[in-house]
Amino acid sequence: MVAWSLAPDRCLSNPTIYEVYPRSFRDTTGTGEGDLQGVIDGLDHIASLGVDAIWLAPVYPSPWADGGYDVSDHRGIDPRYGDLSDFDRLVAEAARRGLKIIMDMVLNHTSDQHPWFQAALAGDDAAAERYVWRDARPDGTPPNNWMSFFGGPAWRWEPRRSQYYLHQYLYRQPALDMRCPAVQEDHRDTLRFWRDRGVAGFRFDTVTAYFHDPELRDNPCASEEVRACVEGPPNSPYHMQDHTHDLLPGDCAAFMEKVRDWAGPDMWLMGECTSGNKAFELVRAFTGPDRLDALYTTAIPEGVGSPEVFAKAADEIAEPGALPWWFGCHDQPRVASGLGDGSAESARFHMALLAALPGPAFFYQGEELGLPQPDLDRDEIIDPFDLRFWPDHPGRDAARVPIPWTQGPASGFTSGTPWRPMRWDDSHSIAHQEQQDDSMLAQTRALLGARRKFGWAQARDRVLSAQDDLLEIRAQTDAGPLHAVFNFAEGSRPIPDAPEDPLFTQALEGGALGRWGFVIASPDG
């Protein structure tokens, strides 16, 4: 295994990141949808958490067929959010508070309303070369058997060209041909456009899907072992294939050297791994001094109930900075409900675990409040992925319900009607938790404050070990040793070789740690 160290000229090192989904963060205009001014107004709250950077989910112009990830202009701001001057103010105001902006970058596909795609439909062959168009088979069926992640064929017939086009996700997100020089040149210019506006890094959406087999060979059937690793709902036809030809992560990994060159040596770069097979192997392939800094994988949140997942990750990834820790985002159910039992204890447990793990980490807006996953009725759901798999939907819509700021109508999110139904209890609001010394918000600030003060994110010589339902973390920081134990079990578990540390003594009951129990020992307590 080859180990590498983060390049010294990066502007961030193992950052703690707060994901903002702007549409659901804060509305300042009464439209019921969040905006960039709302993010600016919320910067003091974000800074108070002790994070280093904000991952800003897409704010580009979009018809919103897939939550903003169907982009029609990669260098603009959707008018519902504001304009480029608002974005520039956000970058400046964040910097005043010691926060950096990480821009969400969707390079794999565009909206079907993008000028390139519209030009292709109008007969512009040069524009069509930017996408993946293929003729039908002699019997009129699609070029091959590839399936879309959203379920159903990955090809859609377009009468205006009498051809099929490839869409790995929603049919309204036509896939770009990443081998096309014109596409690469435009992506290069896009990264430099945002870099020059002051962003500190990029989060690359679905980075393991950039390339596919140019011969368009059929995918083979998936074995049971492979099906267990494929991302997405298990009742999707996407799970029935071994995605050996529609996803070529090896080619994608090599391409990251070009992406690094476009972004520059100082940008902190993180990618999303959407290939469940050999996830940790892909982390090693995609990251390095001349590639991405980090690649996150769903293997972490999907296996978070097992301490073995963490121990395996630490064992297989020599460089702690290459694998970000995370439990939730805009695409996943809320942590307290999705990974825990919906209790306040489970929410606190997962935040503490995130804080203690060495390496980069990110969490989603509202996790600092311990928000549970809201219940939405069928007629309240608008997300196409959730609708496709109802009633066994993944829960993306509910995770995007706006966060509560105050008690009262719309929980202070908007003066209008929120774009998603809000039925939060007043105790979930930021205003309420600000007044409670033992609130989830207070604990988040304390935990992330300790993470920063004692250098847990930068810890070295880390050892993560799993024994039964206990996860033990040992590492060295500049401030001294870090030792933490977390209990994933239903009941109490004894801690083997518990140290003679007052913190451990106070946390244990008869030498054991209770359900959702944890203890973190570091210098000065």
Question: Mind telling me the catalytic residues?
Answer: 205, 272
Closest to 353 measured CA to CA, from 439, 480, 467, 443 = 443
Residues contacting 299, CB < 8 A, separation 6+? 276, 279, 280, 309, 313
Residues contacting 282, CB < 8 A, separation 6+? 208, 249, 253, 273, 275, 295, 297
CB-based contact 320:15 (threshold 8 Å): no
Closest to 175 measured CA to CA, from 202, 143, 144, 148 = 148
Share in percent of the chain as helix, strand, coil (round to 5): 30, 15, 50
CB-based contact 102:202 (threshold 8 Å): yes
Q: Distance between CA atoms of 523 and 525, rounded to whole angstroms?
A: 5
CB-based contact 77:36 (threshold 8 Å): yes
Closest to 274 measured CA to CA, from 145, 150, 132 = 150
Beta bridge partners of 163: 158
Q: Distance between CA atoms of 419 and 349, rounded to whole angstroms?
A: 31
CB-based contact 65:172 (threshold 8 Å): yes
CB-based contact 113:78 (threshold 8 Å): no
SS (H, E, C) 137-154: CCCCCCCCCCECCCCCEC
Q: Distance between CA atoms of 311 and 467, rounded to whole angstroms?
A: 10
Q: Is 123 left (phi over 0), alpha (psi -120 to 50) or beta?
A: left
Give burial (CB, 10 Å; 0-12/13-18/19+) of 440: buried
Q: Distance between CA atoms of 233 and 115, rounded to whole angstroms?
A: 33
